[in-house]
Amino acid sequence: MTEIIGIWIAAFLTLCMFSFLYKDNPFYKFAEHLFVGCSMGYAIPLTWYNAFIPYAYNPLFLKKEYILIIPFIIGMMYWLRFSGKFSWVSRYPIAFSMGIVGMGVPMSMHANVLVQMRSMMLPLNNINTILIFIGTVSILCYFFFSKAHTGAYGKFTSIGIWFMMVGFGASFGYTVMARISLLIGRIEFLLEEWLHLL
Amino acid sequence: MRFSESLQKLDRRYIYIVVALAVIIPLIFPLGLKTYTTTPVEDLYRHIDAIAGRDDKAILIDFYHDPSVMPELYPMEIALIRHCFIRKIKLFTISFWPTGAPIIEMALSEVKEDFPDIKANVDYCNFGFKPNALTIPIILGMGDDIAKAVETNSEGSKLEDLPIMKNIKNYDNIQIVMQISGSTSGYLWYTYARPRFGVDVGVGVTAVMAADTYPFLQTGQLLGSMGGLKGAAEYEKLVDIFAMKGLDYSKKKARDIAWGSKQYSLSNIPYKYKKARIGMDAQAVVHVLIILFIVIGNIGYFLDKRAEKRKYVK
Amino acid sequence: MKRTIPLLIVIILGFLFVAYVFIPHKVSADFYDWYMKWIKVIGPFAVVLGVGSLIMVHTSKIKRKAPNWGYSMVTIVALVITTLTGFIWGIQEGTPFMWIFKNFNVPMGATMFSLLAFYIASAAYKAFRARSVEATVLLIAAIIVMLGRVSIGQAITHWIPDATEWILNVPNLAAKRGIGLGVGLGMTATSLKIILGIERSYLGGGK
């Protein structure tokens, strides 16, 4: 019974959302606000059971690792974010969490720049490798604004534009696919689970 | 009003109705179009299937998304879990999104009902939700010791006490990390886990991001990828062709069956395991429709432009 | 005290982590273990930032009786009920917490994004114009990919999926790599700016 009620509620809320296609209306607004509340409501119990209890409560209170009282207090400083006078205190846990960004400097450089560059240094022994090489270099030149894009250099950077247009075209094609897939999923739900037509 | 002008000023709501019909009709009356498999998806299947029945290897699926992109990503997750359960591949699941964790529960329970022998914490283990602030620490920590980094499963049990953790220590025992994502295509895994610990990374992404994965596929930072509903449909099909028949993967056979024959019969397959393939019929129709929209829209634009030009000359 | 010490914490930890990547020594491994243990205790408290700001925004709307304040009430009630069901009945499959997720969150979230299918169809008709040679190239690439990713493309001719694969593996790859290299350098620069104390926006406003 609860399953059937659930499906009817889900179908009603789906239609509330679709009603926005006609125009903005109270049904859509209701569903939109309900969605925000429900989504945020998940974070609290999930964090409590899956993170706070195993990582903070158990080690400190059950295993009696009392040194962890310090990060516990630092964590509680987040709560002062919303107090007008002491909101600056919440910068301490934020700063502590941001420290790991340091690791991102070499690692992001490695993953996103060095490895990508290394694969550009392969022997140019076939037409595709040559095209990838020309395309990448011309795009990098296009985004180099310290030199005017004129003459032979300008012509070379315009090759970059062509490559980018093909890339954007591919992304657009895929974007159409993505959006349609989401719609198919919802219509499948209405036809199969709600109306049993499939 | 001129014809070209009326073409240009068509009310958008007519377009909406046509799109809705183009989705509904092929879903009710399927066209039975084929699903062709592609290399990035085949690579993923082959790599995961290679550890079938092994006790010292597992795969980890990171559910890095919320329900908004479920129609695209959920069929991938179902297909991956089904593959693991059929072929006795140890499976771990984790989510760094609060609204991703219930999706794990949904997917596991949906597949598990067809596999009564599969046991939680023996054949698979759900690590559950871990706060986003701990993503990098946990990703890095698992390189040394998974049980120490994750500590507990979704039910609060200590990982080190679970039978599934026997012979599983760190990334050396993880065949591949699959990130199923609607926002990043494996970025944190190939930036932090792969260079440091050498773990293989694969992704299942929304089609919006699929084109962005190609540079990383070429460098090997990503071992394979599933892009959108099409990727999910391909994986569903590979599971049916090989895993369901207890066969080892072979590229030749995949291509022969997936490409050569008529649509692989879907009649005996439960709906939840063919959802993506059914959806691909409607996908094909709407793609053609959108192309028609682009063509008609451009015809209207050029006719209008020509008429304007003539008016100006007069 | 209010800004300088947090900045110093970021700078010191930032450099220690850069060093940790390059120096495989027991001291750096110990530092890393210590940080991991502490950050796992601190991390869960961060949930208060998202939930707190949502509650602040909506309660203030309700208090002020701002236009449409009734909808803010819906948000707060939904938040409270979802949270309570999680604490009272647990968060496992089969609980009311999961029932709410399946029947409220999933349909609303997925439908909200599926609306974009209609908008993109409308945009394809009304805005996707071959106004220049570059736009035409974009348009042709998009059409080939759209056809090549579905089986109709293969049914017409195998050239279409082959062309799609080539577009994705060659010009698309070059384009995404060229842009990605810029993004990668930008991300490294931003990380550096953070650990050098130049980028401070994450600390929030005020003194």
| Cβ–Cβ gap A181/B70 under 8 Å | no
Q: Where are the alpha helices (DSSP H) in A19-143?
A: 26-47, 69-76, 91-98, 101-108, 115-120, 127-142
Q: Comparing B6 with B135, which gets the higher pLDDT?
A: B135
CATH topology (fold) of B39-261? Rossmann fold (3.40.50)
Separation of alpha carbons C146 and C150, rounded Å: 7
| Cβ–Cβ gap C100/A46 under 8 Å | no
Each domain of chain C, given as residue ranges in start order, spans 4-89, 115-184
Residue of B70, B95, B99, B267 to mutate when probing chain A, most A C-beta within 10 A: B99
| Cβ–Cβ gap B131/A198 under 8 Å | no
Residue A85's pLDDT band (cuts 50, 70, 90): confident
Taking CB atoms and an 8 Å cutoff, what residues of chain A touch B69?
Answer: 182
Low-confidence residues in chain C, pLDDT < 50: none
Q: What is the pLDDT of residues B5-33, one digit of tens each?
A: 777 778 888 999 999 999 999 999 988 88
Interface pTM, i.e. ipTM: 0.89
Q: Is the pLDDT of residue B314 over 80?
A: no
Mean pLDDT of chain A: 93
What is each CA distance from A148 to A140, A156, A163, C67, in whole angstroms? 14, 12, 20, 52
Lowest mean pLDDT among A49-53, A77-81, B248-252, C89-93: B248-252
What is each CA distance from C22 to B145, B160, B196, in whole angstroms? 21, 30, 11
Q: What is the pLDDT of residues A178-191, one digit of tens each?
A: 999 999 999 999 99
Q: Is the pLDDT of residue B264 over 60?
A: no
Each domain of chain B, given as residue ranges in start order, spans 3-31+276-313, 39-261
Q: b or e along B281-310 (b: 16 or more beta carbons within 10 Å of the residue's beta carbon)?
A: bbbbbbbbbbbebbeebbebbebbeeeeee
Subunits in contact with chain A (3 or more CB pairs closer than 8 Å): B, C
Separation of alpha carbons C54 and B295, rounded Å: 45
pLDDT at A179: 95
Token output for A146: 């310290």
CB contact, 8 Å: B219 with chain A? yes
**By the 8 A CB rule, do C57 and A60 touch?**
no
pLDDT at C200: 84
Q: Which of A75, A117, A179 sits opposite C45 (nearest CB)?
A: A75
Q: Is the pLDDT of residue B261 over 60?
A: no
pLDDT at B309: 83
Mean pLDDT of chain B: 91
Each domain of chain A, given as residue ranges in start order, spans 2-101, 104-194
Interhelix angle C133-148/A151-188, nearest 10 degrees: 40
Q: What's the pTM? A: 0.91
